[in-house]
Amino acid sequence: MASENPTSVEYIKHHLQNWKVCKTDEGWVWNQCQDAGFWSINVDSVIFSFLLGALFCFAFWRVAKSAKVENPGRWQSFVEMTFEFVDKSVKDTFHGKNPLIAPLALTIFVWIVLMNFMDLIPVDLLPWAADKINVLAFGAEPGHTYLKVVPTTDVNVTFGLSLGVFFLLLFYSVKVKGVGGFVGELTLHPFSSSNKLVQIILIPVNLLMELVGLLAKPISLGLRLFGNLYAGELLFILIAVLTSAGIGGFIGGGIAYMIWAIFHLLVIPLQAFIFMMLTIVYLSMAHEDH
């Protein structure tokens, strides 16, 4: 922490800070970025996101390369179950024809599950290891290393995912319906009229209502995932504070950690499933040509 014996508030604030690289008047720097504004990058979120994405690609590639028809291993069976689960979800929900949707849904589901599972790692383990490496290798002051290991507790990551889905929604809306069809969808619904004058008068109202609904999709998609995982991570940090309060706190904190971790095992895949299903639904709506 920033001090050798941090208070509970200092401990919590430290664990909620990202490892940042930021732009200052002196150029880009790797520390002293905790009060940085927009021009900063959460390095830990980028690193863990890419590492977990690479792990997903490598693990599934290995299974596809060495798949056996007879006597498949446990890992192959698990991957096949995951694939069939996602494929069935796409077939039941997506009503268009697009070969991209199933691979996209599989990538979103597995990638988010892996990022969410980082929440089960004890909150002090990797930050402690990073602090020791930073002190021994780079001569930094002890307790001044910041590291968040759960990418989905970073709103930049969740909004990055939701904006990617949003851009695909816009792209396929224009591709399938055409520019005129997409503009008509925004301006002629939900209120319509056979009278041309009334129809023109209603255009601003329809446009306002449809734009609110359209922009709410990426915002709600990103905030839902971020809010649930951030709250879960904060609770793990509070439990870690409890374990430092003597032997009674250690035992009580250990029990609380086990209970919350078991409950969190349901939250982790559930949030990934919700994000995946909403992605499929939004892209299915984009492919509906009225």
Q: What does the CA dihedral 261, 265, 268, 273 come to, rounded to 10 degrees?
A: -160
DSSP letters for 245-260: SHHHHHHHHHHHHHHH
Are the C-beta atoms of 280 and 86 separated by less than 8 Å? no
Query: Is 98 one of the annotated active-site residues of the chain?
Result: no
Among candidate residues 66, 77, 220, 244, the one labeled active-site is: 220
Query: Is 224 one of the annotated active-site residues of the chain?
Result: yes
Beta-sheet strand order (sheet of 27-29): 27-29, 20-24, 40-42
Q: Please state, in angstroms and rounded to a whole number, the distance separating the CA atoms of residues 151 and 56.
A: 15
Are the C-beta atoms of 289 and 181 separated by less than 8 Å? yes
Are the C-beta atoms of 89 and 101 separated by less than 8 Å? no
Among candidate residues 42, 228, 244, 284, the one labeled active-site is: 228
Among candidate residues 8, 31, 98, 224, the one labeled active-site is: 224
State whether the Cα torsion 27-32-35-38 is positive or negative: positive
Query: Is 228 one of the annotated active-site residues of the chain?
Result: yes
Residues belonging to the active site: 220, 224, 228
